[in-house]
Amino acid sequence: MPASKRDQLLATAERLFYEQGFHATGIDRIVAAAGVVRMTLYNHFASKEALVAAVLAARHERFIASLEAAVAAASPGQATRALVDAHGDWLERYSQHGCIMAKAMGEFEEHSPEIHALAAAAKTDLLARLEAAVARDGLGQPAGLARRVFMVLEGSNTAVALMGAQTALADTRAVVDTLLATARSETR
């Protein structure tokens, strides 16, 4: 079954925004790559900013669904590690050149507070999910530990583009394992 024109536009725009940048990618480039006319784009999205917002929301929804599935399937006491592994899997599959939310925050901080806030909210959502996973694992001081794990994951978003997925993710997992082991020893 062919994708709807809206889905086709979202997928094409996401790919181009990620590869080329939000401001560097024009509407004409998006519609040409999607094989539609401008009017089709504007029938679905009122503006380029509305398209950017829809792309970020759809991508975050897919990302969160992958984290939720991993945490739901985690063995007792392994929710945080499952979330970290799911984050790593996402980086390997979809974000080998860095985080699209961080890119959006950088490009839109001065140009669109709404887009910047949407991307920042995605980061805050990840931090909240980490805190919930740490609490589910019964580890002490969930907010502090979640922040530290969050910092490691954010570092991996950048490191994967520099070091490659295997090295960056192996190091990420090693640091997180140390954080979790320390938290477990302090909880006993």
Residue among 133, 146, 131 at smallest CA distance from 179: 146
- DSSP letter at 21? -
Pick the closest to residue 101 from 50, 138, 53 (CA basis): 53
Contact 99, 59 (CB under 8 A): no
Residue 188 has pLDDT above 80, yes or no: no
- How wide is the angle at C-alpha 49 spanned by C-alphas 46 and 54, nearest 5°? 80
Residue 2 pLDDT: 54
Single pTM value for the model: 0.93
Domains, the chain: 1-45 (1.10.10.60), 52-187 (1.10.357.10)
pLDDT tens for each residue of 58-106: 999 999 999 999 999 999 999 999 999 999 999 999 998 999 999 999 9
Would you state the structure tokens that stand for residue 21, as one six-digit string? Answer: 């940048």
- pLDDT tens, 100-139? 999 999 999 999 999 999 999 999 999 999 999 999 999 9
pLDDT of 14 above 50: yes
DSSP 183: H
Q: What is the pLDDT of residues 143-176, one digit of tens each?
A: 999 999 999 999 999 999 999 999 999 999 999 9
Residue 1 pLDDT greater than 60, yes or no = no
